[in-house]
Amino acid sequence: MTDKNAFSDHLFQFRSVEKKKLVLSLIITISVMVIEIIGGYITNSIALISDAGHMFTHSFAIGISLLAIFIARKPPCHHKTFGLYRAEVLAAFINGLFLLPIIGIIIYEAILRFLNPVEILGPYMFIVAIIGLAVNISSILILQGSQKKSLNVKSVFYHMIADAASSIGIVIVAIIISYTGFTFLDPLVSLGISFVILYWAWNILRDSTRILLEVAPKGINIDDISRSLKNKFPEIIDMTNAHFWTITPNMLVFTAHIFINNEKINENQDGLLSNITDFLKKEYNVIESTVQLFSTLNSEVC
C-alpha cells in the first residue's frame, strides 16, 4: 500500500466512530429539546425553558462538530499542506464562543422571573426534567471515551455534562416546589445552570485558543523535550530553533536544529535521526517531526 493510499484510508476512518456517536446524540438531543420547550411552556418553568435553550446550543454544537469532522476528512493539497484537521479546533472555539450570549440571556430571564414570579406546576416540571436527565446520561454514555481523542468531541461531551448537572438541579427544584411552593428556586437554579455553562465555555475557549495560537501542548514545553532528548541521546549537545505545536489533539508536530558531538556518536547519523524521531513519537505522540542535525566539529548541516 502506498503512503498516499494509507493517508486516504486514515482520512476516511478519521473520526468515523465519533461521527456516528454524534449523529445519535443529535437525534436524542433535538427530541428532548422539543419536549422541554413544550413542558416549560405548560408548566411556566423558566428553568426548563433555559435548559431547552441549552439543548438548542447543544444541538448547534453537535451540528458544528459534525460539519468540522466532514471538513477535516478532506485531504491535504498544495496550499493546505496539513489538511483541514484544525476545523475541529475551530468548531470547538465557535461552540464555546456561542455559549456566552446564551448565558447572558438565561441570566437576564432569571432576573426577570425573580422580579415577576409566576406559578409553576412542579409535578409536570419534574416529569419533563426526569426525561431530560435520562437523555443526558444516555448521551454521556454514548460519547464516553471519544472525548479523550478530540477537542471537538470533548466540547460536545462537556455540553452533556453541563446538561446533566442542570437536569439534576431541575429535578431537585421540581420536587421542592411541588411540596413547598418555593417558586423562587426556579430562576435560582437557572442562574446555577448559567454558571455551569460558563465554566464549560471557558475551558473549551482556553484549550482551543491555545491550539489556534500554536502554543505548546498543555503540560509540555520545549525545555522538557530538550532535557528528555539529552538524557536519552548523549550525542546531543544542544537544541535550537525548536518548535512544538498541536494540529488537533493527539496530532503533535515538532521541529528543531540539533547539534551533535561526532566524537560520541557510535552509529551513523541517519540512524540517530531515526531513533530521535521514534523517541518523539513514542514519548510525546509526535506524528511529524522535522529535525536537522548539525555537527559541532564542522558546523555543517548533516
- Which of 159, 158, 188, 160 has its CA nearest to residue 173? 188
Average pLDDT over residues 225-229: 90
**Domain 222-295 adopts which CATH fold?**
Alpha-Beta Plaits (3.30.70)
Q: What is the DSSP string of 199-223?
A: HHHHHHHHHHHHHHTTPPPTT--HH
pTM of the model: 0.65
> Given a cut of 70, is residue 86 above it in pLDDT?
yes
Same fold, 3-212 and 222-295: no
What is the predicted pLDDT for the residue at 234? Answer: 84
More confident residue, 79 or 43: 43
> Given a cut of 60, is residue 11 above it in pLDDT?
no
Residue 245 grid cell = 505545536
What is the predicted pLDDT for the residue at 77? Answer: 65
What is the predicted pLDDT for the residue at 1? Answer: 41
Report percent pLDDT > 70 for the chain: 78
Query: Per CATH, the architecture of 3-212 is what?
Result: Up-down Bundle (1.20)
- Which of 91, 33, 55, 63 has its CA nearest to residue 163? 55
Average pLDDT over residues 247-263: 81
The string of pLDDT tens digits covering residues 115-157 is 887 777 778 778 877 877 887 788 788 777 665 656 666 667 7
What are the domain boundaries of the chain? 3-212, 222-295
What is the predicted pLDDT for the residue at 256? Answer: 92
- Which of 192, 261, 15, 209 has its CA nearest to residue 96? 209
Where residue 17 falls among pLDDT bands split at 50, 70, 90?
low
Residue written as cell 413542558?
Answer: 39
Task: Output phi, psi for 294, to 5 deg.
Answer: -120, 135
